[in-house]
Structure 1
Amino acid sequence: MSATVFSLLPPVVAIALALFTKEVYMSLTIGILVGAFLFVGAQPVTAVQTVLSIMGAKIGGNVNILVFLVFLGIVVALITKSGASKAYGDWAAKAIHTKRGALFATIFLGVFIFVDDYFNCLTVGTVMRPVTDKFKITRAKLAYIIDATAAPVCIIAPVSSWAAAVGSSLPEDSGIDGFNLFLHTIPFNLYAILTLLFMIFIVVRNADFSSMKKYEQRVAQCGSEEIVGGETMDIAGRGKVIDLIAPILVLILFCVAGMMYTGGILDGVGVVEAFANCDAALSLALGSFFTLVFIFVFYLSRRVLHYSEFCESLTIGAKSMVPAIMILSLAWTLSGICSEDYLNIGGFVSSLVQGSAMVGVLMPAVMFVVAAGLAFATGTSWGTFGILIPIALAVIGSGDVDTLTITTSAILAGAVCGDHVSPISDTTILASAGAQCNHIYHVSTQIPYVACVAGCCVLGYLADGITGNGYIGTVLSIVLLIVLVAVLNSRQKAENKGAECAEGTSAQNPQNP
């Protein structure tokens, strides 16, 4: 079954089941088992043994990423427990005086917390809800802002759990440094860049449209909005704003220092070379560990938290990252069963497209669409990385670095796009929970926004493939977004003018009862 059409069956089964059942974990598990049976035949014990062998190897090879996730969950729990998040929210409510200011404060906090999308959603939603409620910003709008500053920001942030996940998606024998490749994809990650620009336009011009506009109008007419209650925060400390800002800054600084350390900065290499040669996963684990040490001293020395409360947060934070760890472990295993040593899905795809110039031209755009569909179906960007990046490497090879960089950026952009709009995505669910918004309302109101940005991305990646220059696609997609924004802005003005005229006519010609 290796390198045949049957090698496509495991991911296809996983996608189909995810769409039908809306359950990601079981869908990935069944897809893995299907792949194992295809590889070993009708031998249940051997199939399970193969799965456990692959999973053990994948987890063992990426254990530092899992350690980082656990430490990060503990950091979030400690900041929450200390009351620092609440303190920031109270401060923001006093310092902000306009609706636009509240939205920009939400965006700023979302961009500032770029180390992890879970961290982002959990913190931004909890902190900014009281502020946005004060200015009558709908929960659906808040959920969109949270979602649009979660994964899109993390995927272009070098110091993040996502950077480590992307780097780990490359096969160990590829001869390519995953973190270095990730850094080169940042200027070509069109979806992340355009989403941030589009979101700023929506806020500046107050130019909501389609489902979001109808939702906003309905809430304005009703005078109230359905709010989905979430779990109350268990705040035990007397934290201040500095107790939120300082740990995040320290985490960033320690992670950057860890990257330079593992890259050989103490051995005399330059800063750029150190970043290029660093062990990103180990660096993030080191940075997060020493951040916990800092928080321990910083909080306990000032009696922000008691020792028992600090210890209690350790287990709470670790438990919060179990879903992410499960997704990663299953995604790595599915990627492993599809790898060259087993079903060799990359070899099959490579044999289909080998020698086709047209496929090379269309590769970035095709990979963007495929990644978006796969992430939408499975609800996970990281699983999409693990499946598609090895395929792109098998098709393109490690020799053509420019094409591989552009195609990888298209995969990352498409994965974030699909994850952003998927109703079964953890990030989407957490964004709804953080805003305490009805989940279906959040998904339905942001679909038109995602579709607009995705359309510009497809055309941009087509330009990348045709010209072989990633910067041309980036510029073209931004220009297309500007044109789209101008059209939406003119329509908004026309609708507002029409509404004013209708109100004026109604006032001049009142109807008699």
Structure 2
Amino acid sequence: MEGSIWSLIPPLLALVMVILTRRVLLSLGIGIIVGAIMLNDFAILESIKHVAELVGAIFVTEGAINDWELFIIFFLLLLGMMAALMTRSGGTRAFGDWAVRKVKTRVGAQLLAFWLGIIVFIDDYFNSLTVGNVSRPLTDRHRVSRAKLAYIVDSTSAPICVISPISSWGAYIITIIAGILATHGVTQYGGLQAFIMMVPMNLYAIVAIGLVFAVAWYNLDVGAMKIHETKAVETGELLDAAKGPAPGEQDQVKVVKQGRVSDLILPIVALVIGTVTFMITTGIQGTEGTVTILSIFENTDVARALVYGGLIGFIVALVLNLVKGANGLGGSLWAGIKSMLPAIYILIFAWTLIGIIDGLGTGGYLASLVDGRIPPMLLPAILFLIAGVTAFSTGTSWGTFGILLPIAGEMAAVIDVTMILPMLAAVLAGAIFGDHCSPISDTTILSSTGAGSHHIDHVITQLPYAILSAVISFIAFLALGMTNSVLIGLAVAIGLLVLSVIILKRIAADKQPVSS
């Protein structure tokens, strides 16, 4: 069953179960069990042992601790405690009061989250968690649903990171591209120049960002998003209480005194400065030879920097709380830890399912679907779809880059080397699309956490917008491939985006409008 169409069963089953049951852990668990049974020829005991080994491998492999996974979990716990401390000190409430006076509309609250998502382009994990936590007090006051905030956060984080050369994503992609170009003797441009030239070809990222802005500006709420937004405006219910507390919730934390805006701003500033500083420091330490901006971001240890930055932010928040007294401090810290446990459980299940999928060879099977029988003009659009399905099925855009970018480069070198950049760009765009649709994607999970949204609500409400952006991008990639013109492909994408926004406005106008 490895490396065949059957390898698609576990991820697809998990998605179907998520949609039908709305229970994320149950759905991921079923996907894990079915995948393990497939991998072990239906031997139950061996399957159980395999799953246990995969869970253990998340934390320790061959006697060595897996820094990345553990650091991400530590960062989530630090962020939960830091958020609880900011709530306890009154900083969150004070910021909400201040922001409501400055940002007087729901549209303004959503646009603030959008622009923060654009500005924080260094790393998607950092973006998802920080922007969600900073924006939440304001969007809550303006009765913006948590699902809407999660969509804004998720659909700006990865798209902006994938087109920014000065980011952890940019450095990773540039490194891969440089190797592909060198392998195939393409010398007219280097990795960085090629990356910059590919930015206007990354049509999904551009369309997704444009659609987020339009959705926020015009209140283009459709499907499940419309239900969440209408309920938020009419009743003040920002998320479905029947599903229990969402990741990141701090409702159990009691405010000790009237807080100040600085009680929230100072820990966040410390977190940002600390994280960026350690990203640069670890990048310099990991660079052999000449140190450049690109080499720093190529060799930075993002997870370690997040933990160190989170620790600094936590210490600042703790000091601000101690000056107001220690009564109830332990309870607040425990509430902060508990608020992040749902997200950590989902991450562990998702990482386990990704291990199952890797064993089944799902990514390799999907990559094998692209062969020399496809007309060259269709290759960008086909690669976009294949990358989307791969990222959706595996839950990792970076893994998709690693699998499909070399294949796309090889195909272009054999068929038409002038198509190498559009084909590489199509892989990048498709990977982001699949990442946005996948319930097992790290960034999807962390966007839910940062926004304080139930994960399933975020997946379901984002899906229509991601699919619309993908349809627009697919047609635009067809135009790009047929004309070999970046400008035409980009013009088609922007034209279809504008047309879609006009249609969505009319659909929204036919229904009960949401107050702005």
TM norm. shorter chain > 0.5: yes
Q: Give the corresponding residue for 1:129.
A: 140
Q: Give the corresponding residue for 2:349.
A: 330
Whether 1:278 and 2:300 are equivalent positions in the alignment is yes
Deviations 1:224-247 (A, max 9, x none): 557467857632343311222222
2:49 aligned partner, one-letter code = Q
Q: Distance in 2 between matches of 1:239 and 1:128?
A: 19
Larger radius of gyration: 1
Q: Give the corresponding residue for 2:473.
A: 457
Q: Give the corresponding residue for 1:256.
A: 276
Residue among 428, 432, 447 paired with 1:412:
432
Q: Give the corresponding residue for 1:392.
A: 404
Whether 1:314 and 2:325 are equivalent positions in the alignment is no
1:166-177 superposed matches below 5 A: none
Q: Give the corresponding residue for 1:8.
A: 8
Contact kept, 8 Å, 2:81 with 2:336, in 1: the verdict is: yes
Per-residue deviation at 1:49? 1.7
Q: Distance in 1 between matches of 2:258 and 2:59?
A: 38
Whether 1:287 and 2:309 are equivalent positions in the alignment is yes
Q: Give the corresponding residue for 2:497.
A: 481
Deviations 1:373-392 (A, max 9, x none): x48xxxxxx83548855653
Per-residue deviation at 1:272? 2.3
Q: Distance in 2 between matches of 1:19 and 1:118?
A: 25
Label 1:292 to 1:323 Cα distance change in 2 as closer, same or farther (>3 A): same
Q: Give the corresponding residue for 1:45.
A: 45
1:87 aligned partner, one-letter code = A
Whether 1:88 and 2:102 are equivalent positions in the alignment is no
Per-residue deviation at 1:166? 12
Report the RMSD for the aligned CA atoms in angstroms.
4.9
Deviations 1:68-108 (A, max 9, x none): 22222222222222221110111123334566555545655
Q: Give the corresponding residue for 1:136.
A: none
What are the ranges of 5 or more consecutive residues in structure 2 without an aligned counterpart? 61-65, 174-178, 181-190, 246-250, 413-419, 511-516
- TM-score, length-normalised on structure 1? 0.69
1:62-141 superposed matches below 5 A: 62=68, 63-96=70-103, 101=108, 104-105=111-112, 107-108=114-115, 115-117=126-128, 120-121=131-132, 124-130=135-141, 132=142, 139=143
Other structure's SS at 2:395 match: helix
Label 1:425 to 1:143 Cα distance change in 2 as closer, same or farther (>3 A): same
1:197 aligned partner, one-letter code = G
Residue among 336, 343, 349 paired with 2:366:
349
Deviations 1:18-61 (A, max 9, x none): 33333222222222222222222243222222222222223343
Per-residue deviation at 1:155? 1.8
Other structure's SS at 1:239 match: coil
Label 1:50 to 1:324 Cα distance change in 2 as closer, same or farther (>3 A): same
Q: Distance in 2 between matches of 1:404 and 1:319?
A: 42
What are the ranges of 5 or more consecutive residues in structure 1 without an aligned counterpart? 133-138, 170-174, 376-381, 496-513
Q: Give the corresponding residue for 1:197.
A: 210
Label 1:33 to 1:471 Cα distance change in 2 as closer, same or farther (>3 A): farther
Contact kept, 8 Å, 1:189 with 1:413, in 2: the verdict is: no
Label 1:217 to 1:419 Cα distance change in 2 as closer, same or farther (>3 A): closer
Q: Give the corresponding residue for 1:236.
A: 256
Label 1:69 to 1:473 Cα distance change in 2 as closer, same or farther (>3 A): farther
Indicate the percent of aligned positions where both proteins have the same amino acid.
28
Deviations 1:230-276 (A, max 9, x none): 85763234331122222222212211111111112598622321111
Q: Distance in 1 between matches of 2:234 and 2:340?
A: 34
Q: Give the corresponding residue for 1:503.
A: none
Residue among 368, 380, 387 paired with 1:361:
380
Q: Distance in 2 between matches of 1:188 and 1:393?
A: 15
Contact kept, 8 Å, 2:109 with 2:138, in 1: the verdict is: no
Label 1:45 to 1:324 Cα distance change in 2 as closer, same or farther (>3 A): same
Q: Distance in 1 between matches of 2:344 and 2:169?
A: 11
Other structure's SS at 2:360 match: coil
Deviations 1:339-360 (A, max 9, x none): 2xx3222333344433344474
Q: Distance in 1 between matches of 2:13 and 2:226?
A: 37
Q: Distance in 1 between matches of 2:98 and 2:235?
A: 25
How many residues in Structure 1 have an aligned counterpart in Structure 2? 453
Deviations 1:389-427 (A, max 9, x none): 56536854799895455413322234325669xxx9885
Deviations 1:122-170 (A, max 9, x none): 653443333x3xxxxxx4x6556523421123224659xxx9899999x
Contact kept, 8 Å, 1:111 with 1:149, in 2: the verdict is: no
Per-residue deviation at 1:3? 2.3
1:16 aligned partner, one-letter code = V
Deviations 1:254-307 (A, max 9, x none): 11111111112598622321111112222222221222223333443xx2x434
Label 1:20 to 1:314 Cα distance change in 2 as closer, same or farther (>3 A): same
Q: Distance in 1 between matches of 2:225 and 2:349?
A: 39
2:371 aligned partner, one-letter code = Q
Residue among 145, 150, 154 paired with 1:151:
154
Contact kept, 8 Å, 2:90 with 2:258, in 1: the verdict is: yes
Q: Distance in 1 between matches of 2:474 and 2:137?
A: 34
Q: Give the corresponding residue for 2:514.
A: none
Whether 1:269 and 2:281 are equivalent positions in the alignment is no
